[in-house]
Each structure stands twice: as C-alpha cells, then as structure tokens.
Homo-oligomer: A and B are copies of this chain.
Amino acid sequence: MTSLKKTLFAPEDQLLAELAKALAHPARIAILKELAKRDMCICGEIVEVLPLAQSTVSQHLKELLQAGLIKGTVDGVKSCYCINWEAFDKISGLFSAFFSKTAEKSGKCC
C-alpha cells in the first residue's frame, strides 16, 4: 500500500491497463454504445438512458474523455459528446494486437 506500484511496469502494459480500466464499468460500456448508436453527438440524453444520477454520469464521461475514447464540445448550454474515432481505432488495434500476439502459441501445457 501507500505506494503506487503500477509505475514499475512497462509503459506499454500500463497503457493497455489504463485503457482497459476505462472500459471496466458497464456504465462506460453503455455510454460508448449509446454514442455509437446515434449518428449525432448526445449530451444529457445519456443521463436519461442510464440508471445513474447526473453527477455520476458526468464523472464517467470525464473518465472516458481522459482515456481519449470520446471527445466533447460545449454547444450552448448543452455538452456534446461523441466517440473519438481515431483514438478508438488505435485502441481497438492495441487490444487486438495484445490478444493476437499472445494467441499464436502451441498450447503445450495444461
């Protein structure tokens, strides 16, 4: 405890773990799916779709922003969020690289 051991790992592993953490809550998965479903950006509609308080949703959005998965712009009173496709593709690539690089094994064990 007291210490942040995470920084002792390979940056590559830290990055993937961070991205995985951004996906590690059903609310954030649901937000991403909702954003993808609609062609246009949404804002407060997300709050109505999710079984969470507005402040909580705002927090989840902030985390997705910080992870780079979405981007948000202020549009008058409302805030408009949408998926950051470039980052999304890159992240998708990181995951599939992780899975496939790992998977080309013979499976001698167990």
Residues of B within 8 A of A110 (CB): 41, 71, 73, 80, 82
CB-contacts of A1-57 with B (<8 A): 5-6, 8-10, 13-14, 16-18, 20-21, 23-30, 32-33, 36, 39-41, 51-52
Q: How far is the CB of A103 from chain B (nearest CB, A)?
A: 7
Give chain B residues whose Cβ lies under 8 Å from the Cβ of A14.
26
Secondary structure of the A contact surface, majority rule: helix
CB proximity of A104 to chain B, nearest CB, Å: 9
> Are B10 and A26 touching (Cβ within 8 A)?
yes
5 contacts between A and B (CB under 8 A): A16-B29, A20-B20, A20-B23, A39-B109, A95-B96
Chain A interfacial positions (CB closer than 8 Å to B): 5-6, 8-10, 13-14, 16-18, 20-21, 23-30, 32-33, 36, 39-41, 51-52, 71, 73, 80, 82-83, 85, 88-89, 91-92, 95-96, 98-103, 105-110
